[in-house]
A and B are shown apart, each in its own frame.
Chain A
Amino acid sequence: MTVKNFLYVNRKAPYGTIYALESLEVVLIGAAFDQDVSLAFVDDGVFQLTKGQNTDGIGVKNFSPTFRALGDYDVTKLFVEAESLAERGLTPDDLQEVMYEDEDDDWAEKPSIKIISRAEMADVMAGADVVLSF
């Protein structure tokens, strides 16, 4: 089977619409097909990864911990756009830690989140075989 490079582009904040949760669901489903999967967080999508989310008061599931499970599904590339963070007054420290175990490096724990520039994000997008937008 030919392995394709799938890029999931997330541009929406987490709870105002269903896009962010649906994206995560599709990523988890897609991960079962052994494809090369990357996630991009651009514009309001960067809000999905902030730490300290607590949805107790709004009656919907807090799905932010699920990002930390992606490593178990070999989804280990979470690209976050630096400009989108800065425009929203965020720094990388405002994001939760997402780690994976690198099986090619004696299962060393490594960060999944990579902060990249807008120009680098354009390269990531241009390098994808399939782009799925949320």
Chain B
Amino acid sequence: MSTLHTVNKSPFANQTLISCLGHCKDGDAVLMIEDGVYGGLGGTGLTEIMANAAKTVELFVLSPDLNARGVDASRLMEGVQGVDYAGFVDLVAKHDRTQNWL
């Protein structure tokens, strides 16, 4: 049993992503969408926290949201994978439930 978590807020604006990571179980996935994609950047003040999370949780960003913001995929930290909308659907289908962190 596992959960897909979605986060749509920038982690530099509030604690939503941190709270989400604090409630993840091993084997869960976190998909960063909308302003949440900024959480996937490498070389930020959060990269260490994210790298630590990546040991037990899969990390994804929604590529169309990344592209819309002019962020090249090369800026993503190691271990964060880009998915398109079809990939989003696959993640929803793969996990037992989806929890949206608003």
Contacts and interface: CB of A to CB of B under 8 A. Distances in A.
A93 B22 CA distance: 25
Interface string B49-72: 000000000000000000000000
A125 B3 contact: yes
A61 B19 CA distance: 29
Interface size bracket, B side: 10 to 19
A130 B24 CA distance: 16
Given A122-B25, A126-B25, A133 B19 contact: no
A125 B99 contact: yes
A43 B14 CA distance: 11
- For the residues of B in contact with A, the DSSP-based class is mixed
Contacts of A134: 102
Nearest to A131: B99
Interface size bracket, A side: 10 to 19
Q: Determine which residue in A9, A121, A125, A130 has the highest number of CB atoms from chain B within 10 A of its CB, and name it.
A: A125
Contacts of A11: 16, 19, 101-102
A42 B98 contact: no
A12 B12 CA distance: 18
A72 interface: no
Interface string B8-31: 000000011001001111000000
Interface of B: 1, 3, 15-16, 19, 22-25, 97-102
25 contacts: A9-B99, A11-B19, A11-B101, A11-B102, A12-B102, A19-B102, A42-B19, A43-B19, A118-B22, A118-B23, A121-B23, A122-B22, A122-B23, A122-B24, A122-B25, A125-B23, A125-B99, A129-B97, A130-B97, A131-B97, A131-B98, A133-B99, A133-B100, A133-B101, A133-B102
